[in-house]
Amino acid sequence: MPSCGWLLALSVAALTGNTLANKQTERNCSTSPPYLPSTAVNTTLQLQRLRAQMRPLNITAYIIPGTDAHLSEYIAPRDARLAFMTGFTGSAGTAIVTQTKATLWTDSRYWVQAERQMDCNWELEKDGSISRVAEWLISEIPLGSEIGFDPFLFSINMEESYTVELASSNRSLKSIPDNLVDKIWSTKPPIPPDSLFCLPGRVIQRSWQMKVEHIRNEMRVNPYKPTALLLSALDETAWLFNMRGSDIPYNPFFYSYTLLTLDEIWLFVHTERVTEDLKVYLNTSCKGPLCVQLKSYNSVLDDLKTYVERAGVKVWIGTEYTNYALYEIITPQDKLLTSSYSPVLTTKAVKDETEQRILRDAHVRDAVAVIQLLMWLETAVPKGKETELTAAQYVNDCRSKQKDSKGPSFDTISASGPNAALAHYSPTEGTSRKLTVDEMYLVDSGGQYLDGTTDITRTVHWGSPTSMQKEAFTRVLMGNIEISRTIFPTGTRGVNMEMLGRRALWEVGLNYGHGTGHGVGNYFGVHEWPVGFQSNNIPFRAGMFTSIEPGYYKENDFGIRIEDVAVIVPVKTKYGHNYLTFDTVSLVPYDRKLIDTSLLSSQQIQWLNNYYETIRKLVGPELDRQGLHQVKEWMLRNTEPFVAPGSSATSGSSSLTLVLLAVTVFHDII
């Protein structure tokens, strides 16, 4: 699934049916009366009530981010304040309400979606940078105005950026801890009951006590001598205690904070959901350095204040995931220690031996589900009855039958033709298009399993692709391969090799407007920071898992993305030591019909053949175990080795002689 970084201005539109025009699916506020599609939400009452809340506070504008108090990418329905106010349900956006205007900022992935979901109370701005939002505020509100915000929904960097942008304008932010949207949201969903559980021992190598001691050692060796570590991101506490929950859709997290000192553990949760078994598991009945003290989730602010008032304390925070409300009470500054990421996130990024093994296993089972989908579509689409939505439902149903399945890891992206040009499009009853043999089809899907999280994208064509489609697909594949086969020194940053995913596209003037890869967890978030190819990701080390996902999107025509998950592994080189490469763990063949082997180098074909032999070796036995013999036959046909450059992408000899003679890809140095 593409991450949100490196976004370009890709203004794209999609048809919601094979014959429907954009004017029928997107609002038109310039007509009288305005045209609103059935998907638009009437927000008049929400805006009236919010403005009434703003007046006694003497704020001229109110900022509504699209996140929660843990700065999560995916949020629970009860935290969807942006959607409640605007009707827009995309995962990225910021709204601002004044007494006379309401404006939403979002990036190019969601412009079409916003036009379909918002009524004419709202204006859409297509540059979501804080500097642009600040410019708008300065132009719209009077001198001396205060702008309200909920400090729990602001990151530290966000608050600082707004403050800097507004500094010379005689306008300022006003922190309002009681969220104004919550005050008018009478139907806000409740906290779900009883959603906390601990992982089974078979998927755990390190107990929570071992993890606590490891992190405490990180605190001890830190030269700035922190006395406590505050964990705010939901996956930090879940990882530390080997626990999971179901508070967030697609993500097995639960509302929580942790304050870990050298001799105490404070766990902030909704305590009424902690069962007696969990209390025993967490050693809550004792007092000691490995005994967890349960605290009310809502008391974190007061309890943190109390701790900070102690003499000689210093609280370590990761600034990327600590909200401004917590940050601003850790004063004076000599009681604060900051780093971009907490030692929990940087430790969690490197999977231990058990985590690596079981995450690989999860990808084998996941490949079975995706291969089943591709085989089914190959037969079903020519009959003319299947849609983007039925395809999404089919792959999710296939996954649900796999061992340890816990549902999808995100809302499946199932897109054909012009819908596939929208990088984050997901079908609904109102937008799902019929699949045909005349169009490209892109499916980006993933699963949550007790032993791992998966994320894979394949693009296929069931008819006769154009020469441009074949070339674009092949060049996207070349980018995927070039990153995957790269050998690099330990500690190399992903951003320094990211261009390898784009080079083959750049050579012919093509590009893509999303990130090239993101970290993936062990039954965690499908986008797991801080691993990936962006400038704020940490250097690569052995044991990290990342997606590799170049793409290309032609507006109103088609979209291509090839995404695999790979683990970073040590590699032997002729002269140097401490070198790494990627080992692909996603195990689904690419569409042979779309590959122009005349564009590929011999090393790239070697890589493909080695990869296909790996699919046969690992997925074949799993298909046998599940009795899926026809699916195995399809897999074998689609993983036959490729022949020398210059030939078409049809199968060569059905034997594996070429594969067995191929030099291993890990010795191919760019």
Q: What 3 state SS string does 362-378 have?
A: HHHHHHHHHHHHHHHHH
pLDDT at 110: 84
Instruction: Please give the structure tokens belonging to residue 593.
Output: 């019909």
pLDDT at 25: 80
Cα distance between residue 2 and residue 200, in whole Å: 31
pLDDT at 2: 78
Average pLDDT over residues 565-574: 97
pLDDT at 669: 30
Cα distance between residue 219 and residue 260, in whole Å: 10
DSSP 8-state secondary structure symbol assigned to residue 338: E
- Residue identified by tokens 């976004």 is 7
- Residue identified by tokens 């031996």 is 353
pLDDT band at residue 662 using 50, 70 and 90 as cut-offs: very low
**Quick one: which of 429, 434, 406 has its CA closest to 418?**
434
Average pLDDT over residues 248-269: 97
What are the distances in angstroms from CA 70 to CA 73, 242, 389, 499?
A: 9, 19, 32, 32
pLDDT band at residue 23 using 50, 70 and 90 as cut-offs: very low
pLDDT at 649: 45
**Quick one: which of 654, 620, 624 has its CA closest to 637?**
654
Residue at 318: amino acid letter: G
Cα distance between residue 286 and residue 276, in whole Å: 14
pLDDT above 90 for 586: yes
Distance of CA 69 to the CA centre of its chain: 18
pLDDT above 50 for 5: no
Pairing of strands 579-584, 488-489: antiparallel
Average pLDDT over residues 7-12: 34
pLDDT at 329: 96
476 CB-contact burial (10 Å; exposed 0-12 / middle 13-18 / buried 19+): buried
Of all residues in the chain, what percent carry a pLDDT higher than 90? Answer: 87
- The backbone torsions φ and ψ at residue 370, rounded to the nearest 5 degrees and listed phi first, read -70, -40
Q: Are 644 and 606 in contact (CB under 8 A)?
A: no
pLDDT at 59: 98
Q: Are 588 and 576 in contact (CB under 8 A)?
A: no
Distance of CA 29 to the CA centre of its chain: 33
pLDDT at 24: 66
Dihedral sign, CA of 303, 153, 249, 183?
A: positive
Distance between start and end Cα atoms, the chain: 27
pLDDT at 508: 98
pLDDT at 330: 97
Helix 602-625, helix 629-637: angle, nearest 10: 170
pLDDT at 141: 96
**Quick one: which of 206, 246, 524, 604 has its CA closest to 362?**
524
pLDDT band at residue 108 using 50, 70 and 90 as cut-offs: confident
pLDDT at 152: 98
Average pLDDT over residues 352-374: 98
Which position has the higher pLDDT, 21 or 416?
A: 416
Cα distance between residue 300 and residue 267, in whole Å: 9
Average pLDDT over residues 298-325: 98
Q: Are 656 and 644 in contact (CB under 8 A)?
A: no
Average pLDDT over residues 24-38: 91
Task: Quote the mean pLDDT of the chain.
Answer: 92
Of all residues in the chain, what percent carry a pLDDT higher than 70? Answer: 93
Distance of CA 272 to the CA centre of its chain: 30
pLDDT at 1: 79
pLDDT band at residue 165 using 50, 70 and 90 as cut-offs: very high
Sheet with 257-261: list strands edge to edge.
Answer: 292-296, 265-269, 257-261, 228-231, 315-318, 336-339
pLDDT at 644: 65
Mention every residue, 6+ apart, whose C-beta is less than 8 A from residue 666: 485, 487, 571, 572, 581
pLDDT above 60 for 660: no
pLDDT above 50 for 15: no
DSSP 8-state secondary structure symbol assigned to residue 83: H
pLDDT at 645: 54
Average pLDDT over residues 117-132: 92
SS3 440: strand
Note the pLDDT tens digit of each residue in 385-396: 999 999 999 999
